[in-house]
Amino acid sequence: MARKFLYVFAALIALVIAGALAYRLYGVEILRMALVPSEAFRAQPRVDAQRYEARAMWIARPDIAGNPALWTPAGYTPATAPRAAVFFIHPTSYIGRDHWNAALDDAETNARAAIFLRGQASAFNAAGEIWAPRYRQATFGAFLTSVADANRALDLAYGDVAAAFAAFVAQVDPKRPIILAGHSQGALHLTRLLREQIAGKPIARRIVAAYVVGWPVSEAHDLAALGLPQCTRPDQARCLLSWESFAEPADPRQITDIYDATTGFDGAPRKGSDMVCTNPLTGTADAAAPASANQGTLYPSADLSSATIAAGTVPARCGPRGFLLIGTPPDLGSYVLPGNNYHVYDYSLFWANVRADAQRRLAAFGASR
């Protein structure tokens, strides 16, 4: 399984390198030309929650043996009797421009999604059974344009996520605590799920924590609407964590330029507001920690034949505007986005710490009940 994981990871690396090179040479416009669909958005019927009763609609769930979220590096194993249920929304794995949304049976897209689960969702398999739905995600190009079709594509994708969550809630023991997690596009959908399906509702009492990673959350204009405070203590339950990783010197303008032009969930402009920054090494807000606090970063081997955990190699500190700064670019290879953006590695940089964090918050949640 590890070998297959790393082969797919190698393909992802090639995509990131190609995108970064094109950006440096030609700028955002050529990326738009290459990745934004030329066709008009095609409306599709909503997916009913009952469809998610079928195993085929999930990349991972407890009754799918050997699913990718069960992967662990050497020295780690999934829990044999996990206490929580984890709802994980994977990031964008569809990069085609033929359509605005991925097909549920697209083999290439699903293979990329599986690799994301191995490198990201696996961090939670010591705390809970992981449920990760297939969904008609918006293509990568939807994030490179402001045309209305991009929002329609994201809305369609969210509809699938909401249906999957409803099926998840219906199938999980109502006494079982819930951990929510996502990355990038998955984290964007998680913010909407929190606002529309969880905040202020009885199910909110079951939420251990929400990991909204790789997507900006404004402290002043978004957080209140999500129904959870940001995590300020490492042993705090019922709170939200978020970070976006950059090595230094960091140039996050591609994020701040867009972020500052948007409106928060409270209806006010986000311009100039700080983003929630949780330091995953400490489990606290707006903190700094040395590399010695890093319990393990997920690294592929040089020949991509295995994956290992290396402790004590990557520091982290919350910097200006709420970006998570990791110091000198770590030796993960040339697989970063422009501006020293380690977006692809938001979870794997701190894999072992995230794993411990989820277990610690779950224990705190149990004690509080």
Q: What is the pLDDT of residues 138-197, one digit of tens each?
A: 987 777 767 788 889 999 999 999 999 999 999 999 999 999 999 999 999 999 999 999
Radius of gyration for the chain, computed over Cα atoms and rounded to the nearest angstrom: 19
Question: Residue 37 — pLDDT band, cuts 50, 70, 90?
Answer: confident
Q: What is the DSSP letter of 327?
A: S
Residue carrying the six token digits 């995600």: 137
Q: How far is CA 154 from the centre of its chain?
A: 15
Per-residue confidence at 334, pLDDT binned at 50, 70, 90? low
Judge whether residue 126 has pLDDT over 80: yes
pLDDT at 133: 98
- Residue 227's identity, in one-letter code, is G
What pLDDT does 32 receive?
Answer: 59
Q: What angle do CA 92, 97, 103 make, to 5 degrees?
A: 60
Task: Using DSSP, state whether 278 is helix, strand or coil.
Answer: strand
75: left (phi over 0), alpha (psi -120 to 50) or beta: left
> Tokens in use for 349?
């940089």
Q: Give start and end residues of each alpha helix (H) in 176-276.
A: 185-193, 223-226, 253-259
* CA neighbours closer than 13 Å in the CB half-sphere of residue 307: 25
Contact 136, 104 (CB under 8 A): yes
Rounded to whole angstroms, the Cα distance separating 234 from 285 reads 9
Q: What is the mean pLDDT of residues 64-77?
A: 94
Instruction: Give the mean model confidence (pLDDT) for residues 353-366.
Output: 97
pLDDT at 206 over 60: yes
**pLDDT tens, 232-278?**
999 999 999 999 999 999 999 989 998 999 999 999 999 999 999 99
| CA-based end-to-end distance of the chain | 38
In whole angstroms, what is the distance from residue 69 CA to residue 116 CA? Answer: 9
C-alpha to C-alpha distance for 244 and 115, rounded to whole angstroms: 20
- pLDDT confidence tier of residue 130, bands split at 50, 70 and 90: very high
Residue 6 predicted with pLDDT over 50? no
Cβ count within 10 A of residue 177: 24
**Predicted structure pTM score:** 0.91
User: What is the number of alpha carbons within 13 Å of residue 251 lying toward its C-beta?
Assistant: 7
Q: What is the mean pLDDT of residues 341-353?
A: 95
